[in-house]
Structures are given as structure tokens and as C-alpha cells.
Chain A
Amino acid sequence: MSNSNIDIVKVLETKLKGKSFQIQPGKLGTVAVQAIPDSHREVLKVMLAADEKTGVIAITGIDLGATIGVYYHIRTSNAFVTIQSEVPKENPKIATITDLMPGAAFHELEVSDLLGVVFEGNPRSGHVVLPDTWPEGIFPLRKDVKASEVKLNPPSTTDARFSGDKGLVKIVIGPHHPALLEPEKFAVMVDGETVKSVEPRIGYVHRGIEKAAESKTYLQNVYLVERICGICNACHATCFVEAVEKILKTEVPPRAKYLRTIILELNRLHSHLLTLGHAGLEIGYETLFQYFWRDREPIMDLTELVTGNRVISSAITVGGVRRDLKETDIPKIKATLSDLRKKVPFYKQMYENEPTLRMRMQKVGTLARQDALKLCVVGPVARGSGVDIDVRKDEPYEAYGEIPFKEIVHTAGDTWARMNVRMDEVEESINIIEYAIDNMPTGAYRVKVPRVVPAGEAVNRVEAPRGELLHYVKSNGTAYPERVKVRTPTFANIPAFLKTAIGESIADVPPNFVSLDPCFSCTDR
């Protein structure tokens, strides 16, 4: 929702006048600002002063040969800005922005991990995605790294299971734990039942997809990025192909846009139903879980009907979609959706009225609006805290500009609010799909595109079920991309959990955590 009329380009041009900034409207989002190292903070300060909804979405590190590029992707309430900075490769140091924007801590660490850029002043240190046994001084995303040079250190044998601090018990949640469906570690220090601190360690399922993407063609990469996450696979594919289409300057036929929208919303539907049920499991409400997952099945069947595949849809490709919707399938889709629509009120009143469920979810993991903005959280987590950001509204892609739908915002900021955002979005998704089917344009569903992509770069955002997803693609004029950067929503939302878990009961950790809808295969890539 563009509720503010701030013209960020004008603001930047007036405030930064006469200084050595190069402002290029239309590049990498609304505007790209070239800044020499450490002056990027000045740009950020200007933006923060102008717009409270300024937030760092991602930091892209890129090997530019002699230098390493550090690109800050920043959203404002109605625009999307990239601050481009470069640091020399021999001495890659740049000042941190975590004091201005605490949510950037993990983004900075990731760039340090993968490209060796030192962010001076970042309070966190250590590996984020790479294993602890990774050798020092080798940074996998630099172009001069050879796989044969990587010799892993022997794993450390010391296991600090009990803390030195008397009275505090270290509870390790993960990498294997019933509350987590995927491997990731959260060391929780508890005093009795109260959480004192949470130390995250992600990266257990880091597969190096960003690096792998550099050695595959654009078409192959569509299928590679889909496999970043099984649940929001279509979002990754769409986000990537849109970025490529931006570089290619291809206009996708309208029918393809509508078809993509349907696939994306089916993705959102089954992802939301999954989380709403999974939350039940985390608070010991198995019945809720079983009911939601029963009703999620028909959506999976619909995905198969529309795309040909049940989970990884592989339907989206550069230039459109790979298969058309059959007229004969439409009644079945509508019947399934109206079935689900009939069940939504039941679940809604379940979430609203069930006393034990409310006791476990209300006032748990409360994230105030101000913190949500500072920590740069995205998606339902932000919308549950009253921050109205939704890429589908802010920067409509595909057919979202033409389809009427409500942006769901709840203001309580607790676990319950986040789940209710998802509950309401289920209903909106059904509306969107039905509208898209009824108003589907005719014509081609795909255009042919060249395999070789001209040199250029593009950054693209998509509202995945878990929040804003960002892909940055740089092409060097061949059939292989120079750099693919993926910032997934869970990666941006983890700081919210680290903040809200402290001071609450250990029993509140699982429901609080699941309300982020964490996806670690996304997070680690």
C-alpha cells in the first residue's frame, strides 16, 4: 500500500546534491545510488529520515574482478532503492549499517562469509552459512576460488553442552529436534523455564545454490532455483524468471501472467495451510494439525492439475509458463476452491475462539511495530505487527495489479496475529484465484526467448507465502549468469524470533518460532 507520497528519488537528489553520489533512476529497482565505501551510511540516513518504512531487504556481494561490490537493497514505503558500493579485494572493509538498521546483521554476515567483506562494527561474528570446519581465507563466491583448494579443517571435538553459568541450562533446539522439520540449531539458555538468550546457527542445509547457478544456463537455473524450497518453489521460479525477463526486456503475454498468478496463489494457499496446521502441532494441538493437512491435500491436487506436478511445479519458464490451463479443468478447480472456502469460517472461529489455542498464542512473541521496522522483517510477520508491506500491492508484478484483493494487516504483533494474517490470506488467495480464472485473457501463454542473455543486471521481488523474496541476477552476455543472489524471507525474519523469544517461557519458543513459518532450505540455500 503506497500510503506515503514521498518521492524518494527527489529526496535523494536534493539531499545528496553536490556530493559524490551518482543517482541513476530506473536502475536496480526505482533508483540506484553509487556510493563510495562508508558514504553508503549517509544515503541510508537520508532515507531513514525521509521514510519510516525504510528497511534493508538484502545485501548482495558480488565479485567484480579487482573490487567486490556490496549492494544494499533497500525498500521504502513506495520504492525500492539499491545503494551500490565497492571495496578493494585486497582490503575489503566497509562500515556496518547495523547501528542504523539492526536487521542487517545477518545479511552482512552472509556477505562476510561468502565473499570475505569485513563489516566493521557488526556485533555478530562467525559463520552463518558455511560450516565451522571451513578453512580461513577462502570465500566461495569469489571468482578465483578453486574447489580443489578447499581443505576442510577437522571438526572441533569440544562440546559445550552445559554452560559455565550455574543455574542456566543450555537447551539445544536442533539440528535434530521434533519442533524443527529441517536441520538448524538454536541454543537456548534457560533459567528454569525462562529463556535468557538464543544463539542461532544456520547453514546446516547450505547447498551452494548461488554458486551452482553460475555454472548453469538460465533455463537450467529456473529448475535449480525452484529447488531452493519445496513449498514456495513457484515463487522462486517466478522471481528468477522475472529478473531474467527484465534483463532481456521481454514482455510476457497477459495469459501467462494470469497463469503464473494462479500458480503463485496455489503455492501460497498450501503453504499457509501447512503452517496453520503445523502451529497446532507445536502447541500440542494435533487435531488442528490433522484437519488443516487434510484440507491442504486438495490444493496439492489442484497444483498437479494446473502444472502437472504436485510439489515442485516446474511450470514457470523464461517467457511465460510451460503449459496452458485446460478449459475442462476449470470446474474442478472452482469446486475445490469453493469447498475450501466453506471450511475457512470454521477454522477462523477455531483460531478466534478456542480457549487453549488463544492461551498459547496470544501475547506470545510480541513484536512491536517499531521493532518490526527496525529488524526489517517481511511478509506475514511484518503484517502481523501492523507494518503494511506486501510486494503484491507495493510493486505489483504479474497480474496482481489488475486483480482486486485486500492487504491483510493485524496490529497485535503476537503469534496469534501472525497466524490470523495467514488465515485471512487464505481467503484472499481463494478470491484471487477465482478472479484470475474468471478474467483470464486469451492468447499465447509463452513467448520464445533467446538462450543468451545480454549483459545487464536486474533485481526482482516477489511476495512469497513467507514474505518478500528477492532475486538479483547479473548477466555477462553469455548463456550463464555472472551472479545470482537469493534473499529468502525466513532469513530476514530470524532476527524477530531472536528478539521476541527472550524473557518468555521455553514452552513459547516453538509456537513463536513456527509463527515465522520458518523454511531452512530457503534460509540456507
Chain B
Amino acid sequence: MIDYLWLIFRVLVFPGFTFLLFFTMFCDWIERKVEARMQNRMGPSFTGPRGLFQPLADFIKLLTKEEITPTESKKNFFRFAPILALSVLVFALCFLPIDGTSVIPNVSFGGDLIFVMALVSVANFMLFLAGWSSANPYSSIGAARVLTQFLGYDIPLLMLALAPAFLAGSLTLATIVSSQWVPFAVLAPWAFVLFIITMQAELEKDPFDVPHAESEVVAGHETEYSGGKLAFLKLARDVQIVFGASLITVLFLGGANGPVFFGFPEFWGTLWFVLKVLVIIVISEYITVLFARLRIDQVVKANWRIVLPLSVLSLILTISLAVWIYPLV
């Protein structure tokens, strides 16, 4: 009985849904604040201390707004795509060892890295469906761009994710984390840097945020969404960013590994994990702020001509250097 309660607590409260929800909003606040300060602006300042509650306020505001479903849209896809995207992403996050173990204990299995990556593709596909079902020219173009982009960048992303798997000798996330007494970011920095760049494209952030290019396609696949559905779509996007940063943390920065000083190791594990995720988010936001948005053809070219060959090279490099790296693992 107590096991079940513990499981429910873990899934719903900590480190599961509630924690992830508030952590996502916190990350959103950090992103907005970093971006604003880099652009000589204030950023959110009024809701809560230093505007900390602004993302929550935005979410609640959207929930209270009227929802409109276009008559021409494919209603079922239109309604469920945002919810499905969010759920799939949260589900994928449950496999990441946030406080040392994954959210649902003992779900880790051989090859869950591949499974988690597949879930991200499914979530991206949901975003595509959201746009495709809207029956709006801006949405269809935005959706087509989502598809073009994630189909292209999934390949190098998976290849680069293989580097830590190779170093750890396992496709299991838990094993990858536990073998990182020295973070893989230090052992294989080439893969780490490339992974961050590819993740930037996968998360549709500048310079790769073509699906959201508001000057061309308004809001891309989100154009027809309003009210609660938009709130969930936006939340799904924020969770996606947190997921991306978490994945980098798990694969390259040793996840929840870190010194434990006193008290519960879970507390320290979560703290290290959160701090590492925040570092990644700040780096990613820096990249976002520093560059202009590329064109879709340039994004696709950058993938096939630069990122993909480089990730193949990175994999070869990792394999050939593995002999020297293995003793360090």
C-alpha cells in the first residue's frame, strides 16, 4: 500500500507532474529574464518577486480565455494534439533520473534512451498535427516547417546521443548517468557542443526557430489556437525546452550526480540536476539572443551539409578515442 502511495506521490507531486510544471514555469521565467537583460529590457517584473509568477499568470490567463475551434479544422486532432504533445513530453521526462532515480522507480530498461528519443519525435509530430489540422495557410506552412526541421535534425541528434551511450557502454539512461563520475561533457566536448547546437534546432529556438517566424507565418502551427488549448500548446513547448535541457544534463553533465553534504541524497540530487538544467537553459538562451533567424532552406542545408557530417565525425572520434577514455569512466 505504502508503495503505491509513494508511487502516486512521486508521479503526481515530486519529482513528477507538479514539480515539473512549476520547474518548467521557473525555467520559462529564467529564459525571459535572461533574454530581456541581454536586450536591455526589464523582462517580467510585476507579478510576484521580480516577476517570478509571470509564466503562471500567463498560463492561468490563457485558461480563462474563450476557445475557438475553426469550422474547417479537423476537430479531433485540433483538440487533442496539444494535450497529447504535453503528455508525451511529460511522460518522456518521467524516464529521466531527476533525483537520482527516474520518476517512476524501476522503469529503466535497456535501450530507454532510444525510447525517450522516440517519444520526443512523437511529441514533435503532435505539434505538426496541431498545425496541420487547423485549416489555416499560416498553420500549414508552420506545420510543414516543424516536420521538415525535426525530421532532419532527429538523425544527428540520435547519433550524437550515441556518444555518451558508447562511452558508458549502455543504452540505459540510469547507467549512462551512473558512469559519469567525470561528466562526458569533459571527456567528449565535441559531442557536447554539437549536441547543444542540434538540440537548439530540435527545440526550434533561434537561429533555427523558422516554424515560429512570426513575421512570415504569424504564429506558425499555433495560429488558430486560443484559450486553454493554446495554454497547453505553450506549456508543451516550455516542457519541451526543459526536456531538451534535462536530456543534455543526463547525457553529458552527469544528471543528478554531485556531492551530497547532509540529509537526503534526493534533495542534493535534485538540486544538482536543477542547477545543471538551468546552466544549459541559460546557454541556449544566449545562443537564441545572439543570432538572427535562418531561412528554412538554410536550416535544412545547415543540417545535411554541416551538422550531419560533423555528428558522424564526432561518433568516429568518440569511438577511436574510446580506448583512452574508458579508463576514466
Q: Which residues of chain A have a CB within 8 Å of any CB of chain B? A: 161-162, 169-172, 177-179, 190, 193, 280-288, 290-291, 294, 354, 356-357, 359-360, 505-510
B295 touches A508 (CB 8 A): yes
* Cα–Cα, bound, A340→B295 (Å): 32
Cβ of B140 < 8 Å from any Cβ of A? Answer: yes
**For B289, what are the chain A residues with a Cβ–Cβ distance below 8 Å?**
286-287
With A294-B40, A356-B207, A357-B292 already in contact, the answer to whether A284 and B213 are too (CB < 8 A) is yes
Q: Flag if A290 contacts B216 (CB, 8 Å).
A: no
Chain B residues contacting A294 (CB-CB under 8 Å) are: 40
Q: Is the CB of A356 within 8 A of B291?
A: yes
Contact yes or no, A291 B292, CB < 8 A:
no
Contact A286 B39 (CB under 8 A): yes
Partner of B293 from the list A291, A356, A509 (CB cut-off 8 Å) is: A356
Could you list 16 A-B pairs, sorted by A, with CB under 8 Å?
A169-B140, A170-B137, A177-B218, A193-B296, A283-B292, A284-B207, A284-B292, A284-B293, A286-B39, A287-B39, A287-B289, A290-B40, A290-B41, A359-B295, A360-B292, A360-B293
Q: Is the CB of A193 within 8 A of B137?
A: no
Are A290 and B39 interface neighbours, CB within 8 A?
yes
- B11 → chain A closest CB, angstroms: 38
Instruction: Indicate which residue in A169, A360, A507 contacts B137 across the interface (CB closer than 8 Å).
Output: A169
Shortest distance between the CB of A10 and any CB in chain B (Å): 50
Instruction: Mark out the residues of chain B between 137 and 174 whose CB falls within 8 Å of any chain A CB in the assembled complex.
Output: 137-138, 140-141
Number of cross-chain contacts by CB at 8 Å: 83
| Closest chain B CB from A179 CB (angstroms) | 4
When distances are taken between beta carbons in the complex, the residues of chain A under 8 Å from B291 are: 285, 354, 356
- Tell me whether B176 is interfacial, beta carbon within 8 Å: no
Q: Taking each of B138, B213, B298, which has the highest tally of chain A beta carbons within 10 Å of its own beta carbon?
A: B213
Selected contact of A510 from candidates B39, B216, B297, CB within 8 Å: B216
Please measure, in the bound complex, the distance between the C-alpha atom of A179 and the C-alpha atom of B293, giving whole angstroms. Answer: 14
Please provide the chain B residues from 171 to 221 with a CB less than 8 Å away from any CB of chain A in the complex: 206-207, 209-210, 213-218
- Nearest chain A CB to B301 CB, angstrom units: 10
A267 to B174 Cα, complex, angstroms: 63
CB of B279 closer than 8 Å to a CB of A: no
Nearest-CB distance from A506 to chain B (Å)?
Answer: 6
Chain B residues whose CB sits within 8 angstroms of the CB of A179 once the complex forms: 214-216
Q: Is the CB of B138 within 8 A of A171?
A: yes
Residue B290 interfacial (CB < 8 Å): yes
Among B35, B206, B216, which residue has its beta carbon within 8 angstroms of that of A506?
B216
Q: Which residues of B contact A280 (CB under 8 A)?
A: 292
Give, as a whole number of angstroms, the nearest-CB distance from B18 to chain A: 32
Contacts of A282 in B (CB 8 A): 215
CB of B38 within 8 A of chain A?
yes
B215 touches A284 (CB 8 A): yes
Across the interface, which residues of A come within 8 angstroms of B117, CB to CB? none
Partner of A360, one of B40, B214, B295: B295
Beta-carbon contact of A505 and B295 below 8 Å: yes
Chain B contact surface mostly:
helix
CA of A309 to CA of B213, assembled, Å:
36
Q: Give the number of chain B interface residues (Cβ < 8 Å).
A: 29
* Contact between B137 and A171, CB atoms less than 8 A apart: yes
- Give A176's nearest chain B residue, CB to CB: B218
Nearest B-chain residue to A355, judged by Cβ: B291
Instruction: Name the A residues within 8 Å of B297 (CB-CB).
Output: 193, 505
In angstroms, Cα B255 to Cα A95, docked, is 77
A161 to B294 CA separation, bound complex (whole angstroms): 28
Which chain B positions have C-beta within 8 A of A169? Answer: 137, 140-141
Across chains A and B, which 9 residue pairs bring their CB atoms closest together, nearest first?
A284-B293, A285-B292, A290-B39, A510-B215, A179-B215, A356-B292, A178-B214, A507-B295, A356-B291
A285 near B137 with CB under 8 A, answer no
| Chain B hits for A356, CB < 8 A | 207, 291-294
17 further contact pairs, Cβ within 8 A, besides A354-B292, A507-B216: A169-B137, A169-B140, A169-B141, A193-B297, A283-B215, A284-B207, A284-B209, A284-B293, A287-B290, A291-B40, A294-B40, A357-B292, A359-B294, A360-B295, A505-B295, A505-B297, A506-B216
* A171–B139 CA distance with the chains assembled, in angstroms: 11
Report the Cα distance A5→B293, complex, angstroms. Answer: 47
Asked whether, in the complex, the Cβ of B293 is within 8 Å of the Cβ of A283, the reply is yes
Chain A CB within 10 Å, residue with most, of B35, B38, B294, B295? B295
Task: Please judge, given known A-B contacts A280-B292, A359-B295, whether A287 and B215 are in contact too, CB under 8 Å.
Answer: no
Q: How far is the CA of A357 from the CA of B290 in the complex (A)?
A: 10
> Interface readout for B31-42 with A: 1 if CB under 8 Å, 0 if not?
000010011110
| Interface hits, B109-143 → A, CB 8 Å | 137-138, 140-141
- Interchain CB contact under 8 A, B215 and A178: yes
CB <8 Å contact, B292 and A505: no
- CB neighbours (8 Å) of A288 from chain B are 292
Closest chain A residue, CB of each to CB of B39: A290
- Chain B's nearest CB lies how many Å from the CB of A307? 27
| CB neighbours of B296 from chain A (8 A) | 193, 505, 507
Alpha-carbon distance A291/B39, docked complex (angstroms): 7
Chain B residues with CB under 8 Å of A510's CB are 215-216
Given the complex of chains A and B, what is the CA–CA distance between A193 and B137 in angstroms?
A: 12
Contacts of B141 in A (CB 8 A): 169, 171, 190, 193, 506
Using CB atoms, name the residue of chain B closest to A294.
Answer: B40
Q: Tell me which of B215, B290, B291 has the highest count of chain A C-beta atoms within 10 A of its own C-beta.
A: B215
Q: Hey, which chain A residues are within 8 Å of B40, CB to CB?
A: 290-291, 294
Contacts of A291 in B (CB 8 A): 39-40
Max chain B CB contacts within 10 Å: which of A171, A281, A284, A505? A284
Whether A360 pairs with B216 at a CB distance below 8 angstroms is no
Q: Which residues of A contact B298 (CB under 8 A)?
A: 359
Residues of B within 8 A of A281 (CB): 215
Which chain A residues lie closer than 8 Å to B295 at the CB level?
Answer: 359-360, 505, 507-508
Give the nearest-CB partner of B295 in chain A.
Answer: A507
Residues of A within 8 A of B207 (CB): 284, 356
Q: Are the C-beta atoms of A287 and B38 separated by less than 8 Å?
A: yes
Q: Which chain B residues border A170 with CB–CB below 8 Å?
A: 137
Q: Which residues of chain A come closer than 8 Å to B210, judged between CB atoms?
A: 507
- In the complex, A89 Cα to B35 Cα: how many Å? 62
Q: How far is the CA of A193 from the CA of B141 in the complex (A)?
A: 8
Chain A's closest residue to B297 (CB) is A505
- With a cutoff of 8 Å between Cβ atoms, the chain B residues found around residue A193 in the complex are 141, 296-297
A359 and B217 CA atoms in complex are apart in Å by: 19
| Closest CB in chain A relative to B73 CB, distance in Å | 14
Contacts of B206 in A (CB 8 A): 284
A359 to chain B, nearest CB (A): 6
Bound form: Cα–Cα A492–B298 in Å: 32
Query: In the bound complex, how far is the Cα of B223 from the Cα of A172, in angstroms?
Result: 14
Chain A residues within 8 Å of B216, by CB: 179, 506-507, 509-510
Interface centre among B35, B207, B289 (most CB of A within 10 A): B207
Chain A: minimal CB distance from B296 (Å): 6
Complex interface: chain B residues within 8 A of A290 (CB) = 39-41
Q: How far is the CA of A354 from the CA of B207 in the complex (A)?
A: 12
Residue of A287, A357, A510 contacting most chain B CB atoms (<10 Å): A287
Known contacts A179-B215, A179-B216, A284-B206; is-contact A360 B294 (Cβ 8 Å): yes
Query: What's the nearest-Cβ distance from chain B to residue A345, in Å?
Result: 18
Q: How far is the CB of B95 from chain A (nearest CB, A)?
A: 33
Chain B residues with CB below 8 A from A161, complex form: 137
Closest to A161 in B: B137
CB distance from A65 to the nearest CB of B (A): 49
Cβ of B39 to closest chain A Cβ, rounded Å: 4
Q: How long is the Cα–Cα vector from A286 to B290 in the complex, in angstroms? A: 9
Q: Please determine whether A507 and B213 come into contact, CB atoms closer than 8 angstroms.
A: yes
CB distance from A186 to the nearest CB of B (A): 12
Question: Could you say which residues of chain A place their CB within 8 Å of the CB of B213?
Answer: 284, 507
